Amino acid sequence: MRPAAPAPNAAPRVLHVAAEVFPLVKTGGLADVVAALPVAQVEQGADVRLLLPGYPAVIESVQGARQVIDIGACFGALRVRLLLGRMPGSALPVYVVDAPYLYRRRGGPYQAPDGEEWPDNLQRFALLGWVAAHLAADDADPAWVPEIVHAHDWHAAMACAFVAEHLPTGAASVFTVHNLAFQGLFPMHDWPLLGLASRLMSPAGLEYHGQLSFMKAGLKFADRITTVSPNYAQEIPTHEFGCGLDGVIRGRGAAVSGILNGIDDAVWNPATDPAIAQRYDAGRLAGKAACKRALQAELGLSPDPGALLMVVVSRLTAQKGMDLLLAALPELLPQGVQLAVQGTGDPALEAAFRMAEQAHPGRVQVHVGYDEARAHRLVAGADVIAVPSRFEPCGLTQLYGLRYGTLPLVRRVGGLADTVTDADEAALAQGRATGFAFDAASPRALLQAAARALALWRDPPTWQAMMRRGMGQPLSWRQPAQQYLALYHEALRAKAG
């Protein structure tokens, strides 16, 4: 029997559908959001569960998993089961799609060990959305039926199409675009694998320039669409930022909105962080200086307290503006800047950063890879965190920087524009400045912003006031969780009406 619908002002039952979650599987900020947002909603009284693919790390880590239903053979897998367990740490209920043929393999969630996309990604992530729709249709787990299916990025977007077109239910769907540039495009000849009506094989459906697009499934069929910052929601209906889907997004009109990401302020908290050399807060900044000394020693950088230590924790790609930073580096380093980089990405950019490290020992240090504890030490020990992105849906590293008193240097786009107040003359005079922003995607513009940072670095009282201002901002998931819950009610009213 379907559980009773919530009262009008009660928090609805919410199923978050995603391809990754911290700390089990992480390739970027999506995993952090999926780990923190549901927990924040539970703290506000919502009944929330996750749905994840059964990767090895998920199967091994989810606690107390039991079978809910044996689905059988589908989407190319001989056996598919739906399990229900709890997330380690938070104890959040989590459904796991156990399909060994599709998910239990070496490599990453989207790519094989050689870096190539898994050739059956269409089946792997169509299955995820299909199971979500069956949960909403009351034929997978009758003991718990969601009113809201919240699909995250292209990997989960087919849930919106299946709910709307294949398994019509009373559930409303919400689709969050974490990065429009990654769209889940597949050959049109694979269409029959989805089991959807042929009329959707058109530009009015999922067809996108001769391919089928999972991202478009979310944009077309979700009851409400969100992005991870208000400014990004205003950018993606434009040709410059719409990645070819701007017309589809404009067609959804008021159904599209932006809700700024938060951060898990229990994990990212310099006053309690076990990964850093010395804990500190806005009232005890001496610990930050100790973290800088420790980081310089760890990385083999010159032990110079007067150097402006800049860090990057990012994918090393042109989207993230890493080529701009490389081009600016020869002028930055002679001015007293040190640079520490952690990330992976474009092999050419990885090689260029390694060459910069070799050319400037003691001034540049590069770690190609990702280490969560190291990321905490980098953010805690740095003076500036650079996020010079060409586009940035939200960005989390600048939020981590603000939390740790590490002033962000950012390009004024997307969520970076929403979260960092540039230290221009007016903002400094009004006590609002929290970082440094530039507009043009050019090395010169980056250098001009860095020059302003260097000038203020030599003014410790002003610098420390900016640090404290950033550290004092409310950056948790509390307010975003409330905004999503309000959006869910709006989606349910629209669905019912």
Q: What is the average pLDDT value for the chain, to the nearest integer? A: 95
Q: What is the model's pLDDT at position 9?
A: 58
Please compute the mean of the pLDDT values over residues 243-266 and round it to a whole number. 95
Is the pLDDT score of 1 beyond 80?
A: no
Q: Which amino acid is at 450?
A: A
What is the per-residue pLDDT across 181-233, written as a single tens digit (0 to 9) for each? Answer: 999 999 999 999 999 888 888 998 999 999 999 999 999 999 999 999 999 99
Q: Is 331 helix (H, G, I), strand (E, B) or coil?
A: helix
Give the list of residues 6+ apart from residue 486 with CB closer than 8 angstroms, or none: none
**Cα angle at 340 between 337 and 341, to 5 degrees?**
135
List, in sequence order, the alpha helices (H) in 236-386.
246-252, 286-299, 322-332, 347-359, 372-381
Q: What is the model's pLDDT at position 138?
A: 86
Higher pLDDT, 1 or 348: 348
Predicted TM-score (pTM) of this structure: 0.92
| Confidence class for position 4, pLDDT limits 50, 70, 90 | very low
Where are the domains positioned within the chain? 13-262+478-496, 286-471
Say if CB 445 and CB 328 are below 8 A apart: no
Q: What is the model's pLDDT at position 2?
A: 39
Four-way CATH pick for 13-262+478-496: 3.40.720.10, 3.40.50.2000, 3.90.1530.10, 3.40.50.300: 3.40.50.2000
**Cα angle at 86 between 83 and 87, to 5 degrees?**
120
What is the per-residue pLDDT across 154-172, written as a single tens digit (0 to 9) for each? Answer: 999 999 999 998 777 889 9
What is the per-residue pLDDT across 57-103, written as a single tens digit (0 to 9) for each? Answer: 999 999 999 999 999 999 999 999 999 999 998 999 999 999 999 99
Here the tokens at position 427 are 């903002």
| Residue 50 β-bridge partners | 16, 94
CA distance 345 to 81: 35
Here the tokens at position 269 are 């908290």
What is the per-residue pLDDT across 400-416, written as a single tens digit (0 to 9) for each? Answer: 999 999 999 999 999 99
Four-way CATH pick for 286-471: 3.30.750.24, 1.10.357.10, 3.40.50.1820, 3.40.50.2000: 3.40.50.2000
Per-position b or e across 180-210, b if 16+ CB within 10 A of its CB? bebbbbbeeeebebbebeeebbeeebbbbee
CA distance 133 to 149: 8
What is the per-residue pLDDT across 300-334, written as a single tens digit (0 to 9) for each? Answer: 999 999 999 999 999 999 999 999 999 999 999 99
Say if CB 415 and CB 261 are below 8 A apart: yes
Matching fold, domains 13-262+478-496 and 286-471: yes
Q: Which amino acid is at 169?
A: T
